[in-house]
Amino acid sequence: QQPVQSPQAVILREGEDAVINCSSSKALYSVHWYRQKHGEAPVFLMILLKGGEQKGHEKISASFNEKKQQSSLYLTASQLSYSGTYFCGTEEETSGSRLTFGEGTQLTVNP
Amino acid sequence: DTEVTQTPKHLVMGMTNKKSLKCEQHMGHRAMYWYKQKAKKPPELMFVYSYEKLSINESVPSRFSPECPNSSLLNLHLHALQPEDSALYLCASSQRAAVSSYNEQFFGPGTRLTVL
């Protein structure tokens, strides 16, 4: 079951904040976040496990609400290098490491 | 070494050709994956290998044939492809192919395939 990501696209000025959401109708074991720049491979950002654990990586952090099966990725004080397409990948409890990716959120950071 | 490598980077083939894509990792990962990604779409899982055995085949047409010769190598053999198979083919690896803690997948740079 493909997760739903929102928004589809975001345009920011350098230094602004953004939130990207990912939700599923299935019981999830984990949520993975990746960033992909044009013509490149997806790059792993972080993984959230069920239990509502919040993780952080530089100025990017994320949360996972197990009750709602929702995850949010928080980008603070955005930099030009944050531009790219952000995908959430969800792993259902019975999926055996099968990641299903959302449609992606295209983030553009302008000077 | 935290890298997944893929060759070739680009491949153009006719519908009657036979070609192979290659993926390699030296992180000691025991799970390897093939994904297909069309432009402006997310990666779609094709196959999962766990401990060199095929564990997931997402109903992929038989013109795609995966092979895992050893724990570091993953191949994708292509035969009689269609133009709609043109896409970026991504390989990934993770420590294991089971739902478990912090089992992140690392992606290779991909092979951009064009079928004429």
Tell me the shortest Cα–Cα distance from A32 to chain B, in angstroms. 7
Q: What is the DSSP letter of A82?
A: G
Look at residue A96 in the predicted model and tell me its pLDDT: 67
A85, A95, A99: best mutation site toward chain B, by most B Cβ within 10 Å?
Answer: A99
Per-residue pLDDT of chain B (116 residues; tens, 9 = 90+): 569 999 999 999 998 899 999 999 999 999 999 999 999 999 999 999 999 999 888 899 999 999 999 989 999 999 999 999 999 999 999 987 766 667 789 999 999 999 99
The residue-averaged pLDDT of A21-30 equals: 92
Cα–Cα distances (Å) from A75 to A80, A96, A101, A103, B26, in that order, read: 12, 30, 19, 19, 32
Tell me the shortest Cα–Cα distance from B70 to chain A, in angstroms. 20
Look at residue B113 in the predicted model and tell me its pLDDT: 97
CB atoms inside a 10 Å sphere around CB A56: 10
pLDDT band at A49 (very low <50, low <70, confident <90, very high): confident
**Which positions ≥6 away from A72 have C-beta within 8 Å?**
A19, A20, A21, A22, A62, A63
- The maximal CA–CA distance of chain B, rounded, in angstroms, is 44
Chain B residues whose beta carbon lies within 8 Å of the beta carbon of residue A91: 99, 103
| Coil, strand or helix at A56 | strand
pLDDT band at A94 (very low <50, low <70, confident <90, very high): confident
Query: Per-residue pLDDT tens for A67-92?
Result: 899 999 999 999 999 999 999 999 98
pLDDT band at A1 (very low <50, low <70, confident <90, very high): confident
Find the residue in B nearest to A93 (Cα).
B99
Look at residue B103 in the predicted model and tell me its pLDDT: 79
Cα–Cα distances (Å) from B51 to A49, B69, B88, in that order, read: 24, 11, 25
Question: Is B45's CB within 8 Å of A100's CB?
Answer: yes
Q: What is the DSSP letter of B83?
A: G
Alpha carbon distance B19, B77 (integer Å): 6
Q: Does A24 touch chain B (CB under 8 A)?
A: no
Asked if residue A58 has pLDDT above 90, the reply is no
Q: What is the b/e burial string over A64-74, where b = at least 16 CB atoms within 10 angstroms of the residue's CB?
A: bebeebbbbbe
Report the mean per-residue pLDDT for chain A.
90
| Coil, strand or helix at B95 | coil
The residue-averaged pLDDT of A3-18 equals: 96
Tell me the shortest Cα–Cα distance from B56 to chain A, in angstroms. 8
Chain B residues whose beta carbon lies within 8 Å of the beta carbon of residue A32: 104-105
Smallest Cβ–Cβ distance between A97 and the set B40, B98, B109 belongs to B98
Look at residue B102 in the predicted model and tell me its pLDDT: 72
Smallest Cβ–Cβ distance between B99 and the set A41, A89, A95 belongs to A95
Kindly state the tokens that stand for A56: 């952080």
